[in-house]
Amino acid sequence: MVFIIGDFNAKVGCDNEGLEDIMGKEGIGVRDDNGERLCEFCQANGYVITGTIFKHRTIHKETWVSPNGRAKNQIDHVLVNKSMRTSVLDTRTQRGTDAISDHHLVRCKIRLKLCKYLNRSKVKPKLDIEKLKDRQMREQYNVEVKNRYEALDVETLEEWCEGLEKVYVESS
């Protein structure tokens, strides 16, 4: 999962016509030149602008406020690769944080689904029991099983099971 987070000074706006795969309709303002370049970058590299996907009040979308308080823009963005778009639960600004900046903090909630790494060398191969329908394969299998039991130095399968029971009872 790759996130690109920063102050891009790019207004992407809310018009996503032809750009539905990289942004939503929830941006603010009108796209500028930096916004065009950011959109082109996202299209070329497979990223999504997450701040434009989620519906929030305007004050929760504005990431920068001018010193006089008149100009308010959404110019800080969080980009995530398209394959992880569904893992992003929410992106919005966090107003009132103690940051010495004219920018508001951008918060992105994600849900990670971690999968267990399987060591392929320890995974048991799946048995194809359909092959046992073939008479020759069944005989070959029986010979193989018989050879393995002979290596255990027992005369019959019943004798082997009795030995297992004795070990189990003695250890209990």
Q: Which residue in the block uniquely carries the two structure tokens 């004795």?
A: 166
Task: Label each residue of 124-172 as H, E or C.
Answer: CCCCCHHHHHCHHHHHHHHHHHHHHHHHCCCCCHHHHHHHHHHHHHHHC
Residue 51 has pLDDT above 60, yes or no: yes
- In this predicted structure, what is the pLDDT of residue 137? 86
Query: In the structure encoding, which two tokens stand for residue 128, read together?
Result: 């194809």
Residue 155 has pLDDT above 70, yes or no: no
Q: Do 106 and 25 share a structural domain? A: yes
Query: In the structure encoding, which two tokens stand for residue 70, read together?
Result: 């008149």
Query: In the structure encoding, which two tokens stand for residue 8, read together?
Result: 């891009």
CATH code assigned at 58: 3.60.10.10
Q: Do 150 and 72 share a structural domain? A: no
- In this predicted structure, what is the pLDDT of residue 100? 82
Write out the residue range of the structural domain in which residue 156 sits: 129-171
**Rounded mean pLDDT of 5-11?**
94
Number of folded domains in the chain?
2
Q: What's the pTM?
A: 0.64
Tell whether 43 is covered by a domain: yes
Q: Give me the chain's average pLDDT, please.
A: 86
- In this predicted structure, what is the pLDDT of residue 118? 67
Q: Do 82 and 145 share a structural domain? A: no
Tell whether 115 is covered by a domain: no
Tell whether 122 is covered by a domain: no
- In this predicted structure, what is the pLDDT of residue 120? 67
- In this predicted structure, what is the pLDDT of residue 69? 85
List the single range of 21-25, 43-47, 67-71, 168-172 with lowest mean pLDDT.
Answer: 168-172
Q: Do 95 and 15 share a structural domain? A: yes
Residue 60 has pLDDT above 90, yes or no: yes
Element housing 36 (H / E) = helix 33-45
